[in-house]
Amino acid sequence: MKLSKMTALLAMSVAMPAMATELEVTHWWTSGGEAAAVAELAKAFDASGDKWVDGAIAGGGGTARPIMISRITGGDPMGATQFNHGQQALELVEAGLMLDLTDVAEANNWKEIVFPPSLLEACTVDGKIYCAPVNIHSPEWLWLSNKVYEDLGIPVPTNWDEFVATAPQVDAAGKIPLALGNQPWQSNLAFGAMQIAVAGIDAWKAVNVEKNMDVAAGAEYAKVFAAAAAARELARKSTVQDWNQATNLVITDEAAGQIMGDWAQGEFQVAGEVAGKDYTCLPGLGLNQYISTGGDAFYFPKLDDPEKEAAQKRLAAQLVSPEVQVAFNLKKGSLPIRGDVDLSAANDCMKKGLEILAGGNILPAGDMVWSPDVQKQAEDLMVEFWKSEMPAEEAHTKWVEILKTGL
């Protein structure tokens, strides 16, 4: 080894605190906006003297989650891992594979500060807390390119109905009316957004919370399937795969709109676009404004290593801390999981989200009310529906059958 390199290494080892513990952290944040956000988490962890070893898994949550789960069940656990709020890690917790964070939660008053309380409830199994919530993401937004409409000389739509009504003009101008990626979860997300926008909040709750299968099979939901069949035509010209490629079609004004979660904001931000000026965001597709409290939480597999366990607990506490909440969520486009932080730097879209949250117009996320199995079956059906000519009535009947398997 050259002397200069040795000196550099020596200097580094002197500068590093003695207790730096490496933790591999897996997640599926690989788009430009997501990478910028996760870098904030890594930066904070490293600055506090530990070492974040980034374990990004490309391909979205649908690809990443089975890999994460099989590593944990197969004896190759990481130090920490992302899952969505809800039941995705429930079986791992029940199998005794995940670290109990109740002491961290108590020491840091999570019960008093985490808002809405449903986020911490989703981490709680048999009275013990197994995850650190990091954000609130609402999946049901419509993102619009202002320029597409300005070029057509028509006002930017203010809701889904106006979007559909103006789609023929967008189409005739050679643009893609609706950008939609091919990853299976994206068509399911679009359908989920249309459920609340078209059927309304009461019908949504009746089906998804109260599990009323008569409402699921009824007229309100027939309207949702009819709307989804119409939306399917608007997405025909969209051939991209990843969600952020679809967002990019809106950013580059190739497509008029995309139904996507508020993580899309990270992409607009990285591209230097300004909310309200370059693009428009419509929560609840502009028809029923609400925030469904999905998003992300970190879980910590048991490692049988006291030093690593201490670092896992330090990371858990840090993820919920005010500083990290602000730095991370501003980049991620998500809302913080605590109301006592300063988000004055939030852009117009985040402010809309914060207002809805403060007004209490919130719903649980799909992962909180249906098991991963039901979610997966519904996702498969939606992929088939959006990519084929399956009649709306047939998809509706099949969907109700799937929900019934989860009762």
- The residues of the shown chain that bind ligand BGC, judged by CB under 6 A, are 28-29, 34, 60-61, 84, 137, 243, 261, 263, 295-296
For 11, 62, 134, 316, the CA distances from 110, given in Å and listed in that order, are 39, 29, 12, 11
Q: Residue 58 and residue 94: Cα distance in Å, rounded?
A: 27
CB of 261 to ligand BGC, least distance (A): 6
DSSP state at residue 195: I
CB of 63 to ligand BGC, least distance (A): 10
- Closest residue to ligand BGC, judged by C-beta, is 263
Q: 253: exposed, middle or buried (C-beta count within 10 Å: 0-12, 13-18, 19+)?
A: middle
Residue carrying structure tokens 């939901």: 221
Please, are residues 45 and 318 in contact by the beta-carbon 8 Å criterion?
yes
Between 280 and 375, CB nearer to ligand BGC:
375
Beta carbons of 370 and 303 less than 8 angstroms apart: no
**In terms of CB distance, is 28 or 300 closer to ligand BGC?**
28
Question: Of 238, 285, 302, which is closest to residue 77 (Cα–Cα)?
Answer: 302
**Nearest distance from residue 3's CB to ligand BGC, in Å?**
46
Instruction: Kindly tell me which of 140 and 296 has the beta carbon lying closer to ligand BGC.
Output: 296
Non-local (6+) Cβ contacts of 69 within 8 A are 92
Question: Closest approach of Cβ 196 to ligand BGC, in Å?
Answer: 17
Segment (H or E) for 349: helix 348-358
- Residue 181 C-beta: closest distance to ligand BGC, Å: 10
Minimum distance from residue 30 beta carbon to ligand BGC (Å): 8
Contact by Cβ (8 Å): 39, 263: no
Minimum CB distance to ligand BGC smaller for 50 or for 296: 296
CB of 234 to ligand BGC, least distance (A): 22
State in angstroms the smallest separation of the CB of 14 from ligand BGC: 38
Cβ proximity to ligand BGC, 141 vs 221, nearer residue: 141
In sequence order, the β-bridge partners of residue 291 are 362
* Residue with Cβ nearer ligand BGC (263 or 299): 263
**116 upstream amide cis, omega within 30 of 0:** yes
Indicate the burial class of 278 (C-beta count within 10 angstroms; 0-12, 13-18, 19 or more): middle
Identify the CA nearest to 339 among candidates 357, 351, 316: 357
C-beta closer to ligand BGC: residue 40 or 296: 296
Tell me whether residue 34 or residue 50 sits nearer to ligand BGC (CB atom).
34
Question: Do β-strands 124-125 and 128-129 pair in parallel, antiparallel, or remain unpaired?
Answer: antiparallel
